[in-house]
A and B are shown apart, each in its own frame.
Chain A
């Protein structure tokens, strides 16, 4: 926990308060790498709105029992009071001792939702039920983690801009079993999601092929030489979707063309002179997708970074990553 071992005697109340806050559940720890085990000191618990309402109902019950002299009314009021108190322990315990580790995060395009996932492991002997994961924007996801088992949870976060999207602060929380109290622990795992630029929309032509046959996208980009169908991937041009196959309920498939594979395509930053940076990246992103969809061998040239020509999934990812991180110190 890294709490200072010795407290200076001359500490003023304010810095003492700061120290307490730093050691409490509110403490901002900064991103943590690796697995985090939720122990007692990290878990915070407060009554929910319904918990407060329950307290009010208990007061009403107590008043009625006094007024009517109901001995069993007292007994039941006190039983429910005990129930509420015991539920604090249960709710707290439901979270205590869980181990959280960051899960895999797949890259997304700007404008989509990044899905951050965490993996929970319950090495204790008790089942943990209704564990929730939430971010400040309110999306919640729930799972059960049986004793000795693990479970995964993922929540979406809107990815607005390209680059590396930090996971930020999550809270792992639970209201189980009675919903009267909410226990939570703030988590800032060292997780980030790669956000590709948003591909430019509308009709975008691929630049002409350099070297070789000089065949340009305008000349069909090998469109005539339809070779195969493959499953649709995000970013594929709608023009290449096999609509007939879709109509026959074969699923969404993208047509691949062999014609373009023959040429070598350079997607060049400099060919888009005069455009604003993000629009350029957006256009380049679209080109990468189109070129990949067409099965072409393509290279990417950015100021200070050149991705040599290649093709296939790896090349697509390498290029998109270069675009996503352009101008951002890694």
Chain B
């Protein structure tokens, strides 16, 4: 049964196939993110390597490989402008993985490839940590582990079912250790070194500017912006104005925030019962912490600006939980500084003449600011304005083009042109962006706010009332504020992600799935140093310290390994019935019952001859059993089927006197 003389054996095609299949699985999720040429290179080299194995050709020499590696590194530098960072790093790893395979001659060379593959799996989490991603990558780890097991069997002759079963068993047994380490391993808050600039790229969300189309673009996304758990009942949808960037400056096309001014203290008076809730914000690489108009508390480490924006100290790059208290009914101070007033009235010197004319006419016809506001809202309500995600493009004078031309737009068109009209009429106004409404998940009892809920409204400063929120979109499409965006849009605009609003079972499914995701986010992805200490303090009924954490972890791991070790030792114990000797022993017991006891010094062959002399009728059976026993016991290797045959023959041997 020799498998060969050395384990440093050449990689077989069988093993190579396994290895390549698992590598392809690990690289696959990266393919849309990689430059196409890297994926093509990967596929080409993999096929080349397979061809070499199939035709038993020698591998390319060091020189060509070195050249290929240098060219690849150069190409990646050309594509990304760097070799490090998230995206370039993944491209480098992918290329190195397959290039290393080109120089891997023996089974054990390939172990390094396997380790790189494990690392490549972990890089996928930089882009997504969702439940499906985790399940898929678990399957990838299983495949890689199966390939690794194959590499460690000489000749790589292990059947695929055996590999997979063994890999699954190993991973399953590793789960208790993983859970212990996950819960107890002291979490250090990152980053340990500077994060590359592209670490959190490509996330959508609100920004500090607004131009026509910037919010309707978000309207197409059903990505979750944040989830909210209220301490009491969920307020009415029309109260749910989630305040984000406040935009003061208009350049004729784009509204922008300018530099935020940090305020001391609250700066407004709240009425009625405050709302208390916890927001779990998805990372958007921005500083805004969204809260219901107007927030009365600042989460730790955050600050509040003079225009009531909550700002985190750093851009939010990890899912963040924070507690907030808000007063939906409030009154801001009745004084407006001269500089703020000037800023809230400033308009570009040129452009949009018709809108300016209209505002001047309203000013002339009205006695108060309130009347002008009503006139503007009445215009939006009465004139044929349409609420749509797909507004036509606007020309050089976007406000005029919208108000007197297309008359169809999304909330940024309404908010932007309304604020423009107010300023033109001499009323201080600013645009506020954020989210409006949200969807209650009955399963989890929390509110989901999606990017599609992004919204823009206006605040005007009225004498004797301070800053007052006015939502011109509500004048055009009141359902938008009352029951959400999906009901407010015309059917032709509905996007697939929101279609479920109109099919109840789909909506239910979506809600269950979101509840799973919420639990996942809260308990697995959101498990950080803070939650770890809170959880353990609650478990131990007293504050937990790092030292205790370490000791507990060490003790628990020790106990776990001892337990597993005991279990494996128990499983290696000698089987009572399986051994060849045991089967032969049974045969001897049977012959003893027939009056022929095997003498201790008697070999099986001699014993069989003695049986043949005493009981010629059993001679053949005894000879067959002894012959097979001798062959199995002292021959070169016994097959399972043969052992089974021996057992059957002994079973068939008569055991009683006749």
Contacts and interface: CB of A to CB of B under 8 A. Distances in A.
Interface of A: 40, 50, 53-54, 57, 60-61, 63-83, 85-87, 89-90, 92-93, 96-97, 119, 121, 123-126, 129-130, 132, 139-154, 175-179
Nearest to A138: B6
Contacts of A40: 569
A82 B561 CA distance: 10
A130 B152 contact: yes
Contact of A67 (B141, B158, B191): B191
A125 B2 CA distance: 22
Contacts of A73: 122, 125
Contacts of B181: 74, 78, 81-82
A77 B122 contact: yes
Interface string B568-587: 11011111001111100000
A124 B166 contact: no
A146 B641 CA distance: 11
Contacts of A139: 5-6
Most chain B CB neighbours (cut-off 10 Å) among A65, A142, A144: A142
B464 interface: no
Contacts of B166: 177
20 contacts: A50-B111, A72-B525, A73-B125, A78-B178, A81-B178, A82-B174, A82-B177, A83-B170, A85-B174, A121-B580, A123-B581, A139-B6, A141-B2, A141-B4, A144-B3, A147-B575, A148-B638, A149-B580, A178-B145, A179-B148
A80 B185 contact: no
Contacts of A177: 149, 152, 166, 170
A61 B178 CA distance: 14
Contacts of B137: 72, 76
B637 A179 contact: no
B119 A60 contact: yes
B528 A69 contact: yes
A243 B571 CA distance: 59
Given A74-B182, A143-B637, A146-B640, A83 B1 contact: no
A123 B174 contact: no
A269 B515 CA distance: 97
A184 B155 CA distance: 21
A72 B125 contact: yes
B572 A97 contact: yes
Interface of B: 1-7, 108, 111-112, 115, 118-119, 121-122, 125-126, 129, 133-134, 137, 141, 145, 148-149, 151-154, 158, 166, 170-171, 173-178, 181-182, 185, 187-193, 195, 199, 317-318, 524-528, 561, 564-565, 568-569, 571-575, 578-582, 632-640, 643
Given A66-B190, A179-B108, A85 B177 contact: yes
B125 A76 contact: yes
Contact of B119 (A61, A82, A154, A175): A61
Given A78-B177, A89-B565, 12 more contacts: A73-B122, A82-B175, A93-B569, A124-B573, A130-B153, A132-B154, A143-B637, A149-B640, A152-B636, A177-B152, A177-B166, A179-B111
A51 to B, nearest CB: 10
A71 B4 contact: no
B351 to A, nearest CB: 46
Contact of B572 (A67, A96, A142): A96
Contacts of B525: 71-72
Contact of A148 (B134, B524, B635, B640): B640
A46 to B, nearest CB: 16
User: Which 4 pairs, one residue from A and one from B, show the smallest C-beta to C-beta distance?
Assistant: A82-B174, A82-B177, A148-B578, A78-B181
A57 B119 contact: yes
Nearest to B640: A146
A61 B1 CA distance: 40
Contact of B175 (A79, A142, A143): A79
A78 B2 contact: no
